[in-house]
Structure 1
């Protein structure tokens, strides 16, 4: 079962337990208040080994998951909407904390990309803080996207996809198997993200090697599609192509789609980081692209102009980037335009629907995206590193608003050393809380709904 499915199943179990408690006259209305007799949680202890096996231990109790730790640096710095609260879940995470997944054990797993590690962040006592940092795999080549399928943790590395599992019950994922190395080598945009689709296939995004250029490897700036064992699905658009590099292609013209997801209706949505060099305002970030198989999505030749929703039938068509001549026979009208755009240099990364959250109903159709923020604008106000809420109605994005903000140092860009943090990934846990990874501050945050 993919990690998202496992998490939602556990969350449904939590709702059932809460319902049983309510039926017995037990109220959880005070669960968000931290008991006065409980000590402030300390920073997680780092350990390279553990006796907790991901296949046998469930890190609950679920009933106490709503506990909110005391105010901390995150609650003082980061603004969230009324009725919500943010706290540090884990810190001291050296090595660029990137993408997250909840395991079948209910614990949070995280890639430390530059350290070549995957760590587990269990909260066994349910106090809203990770107990420790447990290294479960190391020696990986730029690990980024991760997702569980049964007992296997799939990991997208810079030049391959591997799957890992615990073979002896010690909690470390020591068994490693190569799934495929039919992805482009790590150059330029080196992060690789993977998810299993509703069709059971393995999808992998690979960014471009450059800011703007014509790639010599067709697998770059693309989303690739494999069977879970790494073979090529027979219904891939180019499954029978003479060039084996073209066989995994599903969609292309995506400069750097750091994350993607599927809507309830089965539509693949991806974000997209636009190129630099056209000033502070161009091209807009293509925050949501409805990815279509066997179609070109614009880069490096075209981009979607304007800001905000771009819904059919009155879509803004893609326009040509003046730096790139169009290939013979190709026009920007043939490229798939974005559904929703935002300010250039916002750098959208991890994205997650609110459907599995314990947030109020008005948030559950929406999409939450981590904006990594700018490192190279000339604007005095720069671009914020934040979590943005994309409001979705009738299956379409209609507007956006900030959900969590305050990481950027005043007057500085998000890439400045003085900035406190830069969100990377957003994920909802089995407890219905939002988890946010931060590769600049080396933290994971937890956001809970506390009530009106």
Structure 2
């Protein structure tokens, strides 16, 4: 079944441009969506899609009815970052808020005021075996220091990262031109402080908080009794329990930008360990960022921000190259589709290096990868035959995959954010989002 929601603009689509393993087939399931960030199937087999709203300013939740998507809710904070469903309730994560859409048409913000004014927001809700909800909370900054790469400082000048426990922060400061008064002297900013506020002592105590930056939080289904269960992540873009009640985390690693750039930091796929510090902002994939491999070209070696670490951070089950931007994932439980229990994950990818502007058109991201849960080994499951993301006029395949879900028919469904341009990789063209369907070939 092929579904066209709105007349798509400026996006050429051709499933023949996408490589899938022998014995599989890929097809366009739906077009004309606006920045689809995630999808979920209801217990009855219905399909819900969340549109992030970054190109229109109006995030929406859609429901597939008789071959066409209908808008069932809109007006959320930009962006929606995740959607889930249980017992008739739709859980929508959007900037700073988690909202329930109920069967009777009412909506309730069950959690609000989350620290999501910065680079990364609160992310998708998942359901724990004890009946609680879990979700990830992203950080304010790339690596613990507010700088000129954080354009949100003009609207939220006092916002900054907060740890999940009492820490001792080193009294290091990072100098930039003054963003607020360009003609003034330079600004000095310390770790875990607002922009332009320097550290004054060699070692400073920073108080921890439940709503910590880069954390996993847990609450009752009505949003009450919010508690911190882990921190030290950067952007836990997706979390999900498997059938064995193990929680897995897709965490996007630090990048080569800002006042404290970190080079070559991989994205991480973790099996959750409760009450654990995962290493941010001083460790990447279990390694200190003061190691030579993390030093950006032409920049100083990164300094550690913490005087003493809360715990030894774990190494991830699987790692992905820097700038993969791993997103939504799901587990396969159909032996007819493939190995039972393995995870399949969307890699949003990058179009340009964030500092140099050098094009990234192949080799990193823009694909669906498979993770062997037993060994942590990763492999590419689906990628464009050219190796290029669909940003060129003649490329009709995957662009920026955002989520993977297995449907009641056993097929894999993939949301593909939108068409973009080489001129500006962050210019998302409205109504060019796609859902792809990958299934076993019939012959």
TM-score, shorter chain, exceeding 0.5: yes
**Would you say 1:296 and 2:274 are equivalent positions?**
no
What's the Cα RMSD here?
2.8
1:80–1:403: 8 Å Cα contact kept in structure 2? yes
CA distance in structure 2 between the aligned counterparts of 1:138 and 1:404, rounded to whole angstroms? 32
Q: Provide the TM-score with structure 2 as the length reference.
A: 0.70
Change (3 A) 1:41 1:423: closer
For the residue of structure 2 that corresponds to 1:145, the secondary structure is strand
- 1:346 paired residue number: 324
For the residue of structure 1 that corresponds to 2:380, the secondary structure is strand
Higher share of residues assigned helix: 1
CA distance in structure 2 between the aligned counterparts of 1:352 and 1:98, rounded to whole angstroms? 14
Q: Provide the TM-score with structure 1 as the length reference.
A: 0.69
Higher share of residues assigned strand: 2
**Would you say 1:270 and 2:249 are equivalent positions?**
yes
Distance apart, 1:401 and its partner CA: 1.5
- 1:106 paired residue number: 45
CA distance in structure 1 between the aligned counterparts of 2:415 and 2:369, rounded to whole angstroms? 14
CA distance in structure 1 between the aligned counterparts of 2:361 and 2:83, rounded to whole angstroms? 36
Distance apart, 1:408 and its partner CA: 7.4
- 2:187 paired residue number: none
Q: 2:227 aligns with which of 233, 248, 265?
A: 248
- 1:241 paired residue number: none
1:97–1:113: 8 Å Cα contact kept in structure 2? yes
Q: Structure 2: which 5+ residue stretches go unaligned? A: 146-159, 164-211, 291-300, 420-432
CA distance in structure 2 between the aligned counterparts of 1:119 and 1:440, rounded to whole angstroms? 16
Cα shift readout 1:307-364 (whole Å, capped 9, x = no counterpart): xxxxxxxxxx432345242423217x61122111121111110111111x4634x422
For the residue of structure 1 that corresponds to 2:404, the secondary structure is strand
For the residue of structure 2 that corresponds to 1:335, the secondary structure is coil
CA distance in structure 2 between the aligned counterparts of 1:201 and 1:88, rounded to whole angstroms? 36
**Would you say 1:284 and 2:266 are equivalent positions?**
yes
CA distance in structure 2 between the aligned counterparts of 1:419 and 1:197, rounded to whole angstroms? 41
**Would you say 1:369 and 2:314 are equivalent positions?**
no
Paired positions, count: 339
- 1:196 paired residue number: 127
1:118–1:143: 8 Å Cα contact kept in structure 2? no
Q: 1:136 aligns with which of 61, 69, 72?
A: 72
Distance apart, 1:284 and its partner CA: 1.8
Distance apart, 1:384 and its partner CA: 3.5
Q: 2:17 aligns with which of 54, 65, 77?
A: 77
For the residue of structure 1 that corresponds to 2:84, the secondary structure is strand
* Worse-superposed segment, 214-223 or 440-449: 214-223
CA distance in structure 2 between the aligned counterparts of 1:416 and 1:213, rounded to whole angstroms? 35
Cα shift readout 1:252-284 (whole Å, capped 9, x = no counterpart): 011011111223432221011111118997112
**Would you say 1:155 and 2:92 are equivalent positions?**
yes
CA distance in structure 2 between the aligned counterparts of 1:164 and 1:282, rounded to whole angstroms? 40
